[in-house]
Amino acid sequence: CFHTNSDSNPWWRVDLVLSRRIDRVVIFNRMDGWTWQRLDGFNVYVGDNERVQDNPLCAANQPVQTKESNYTISCYGLLGQYVGILIPRREYFHLCEVEVY
């Protein structure tokens, strides 16, 4: 797992090297203590721009209201070289794993 300091609009992204059709993204949240709540309201982006939020939205304002270890987000074949996750507020960012299919 990783975490950031409290940042404005913290983000994470992966570079897939080539544009690919993205069916789904599985996000594994950090589960210790109360940190799992920090992911609440996250956005997922897929596209060819290195800047996460300049890509098309795959999912917006995703709720994290229960203590679940993973979330599957359908992206319905969006095309992109980059898959990014952004929390649209000032927050600490915690993740354990991301799988892209």
**CATH number reported for the structural domain that contains residue 18 in this entry:** 2.60.120.260
> In this structure, what token pair is assigned to residue 32?
């210790």
Sheet bearing 70-86, strands edge to edge: 57-62, 42-47, 70-86, 11-28, 97-100
pLDDT confidence of residue 68: 76
For 66, the domain range is 2-100
pLDDT confidence of residue 44: 98
Domain count, the chain: 1
pLDDT confidence of residue 101: 98
Average pLDDT by consecutive 10-residue portion of the chain (101 residues)? 92 98 95 84 97 97 84 97 97 94 98
> In this structure, what token pair is assigned to residue 50?
């290195």
C-alpha 31 chain-centroid distance: 16
State whether the Cα torsion 73-75-53-18 is positive or negative: positive
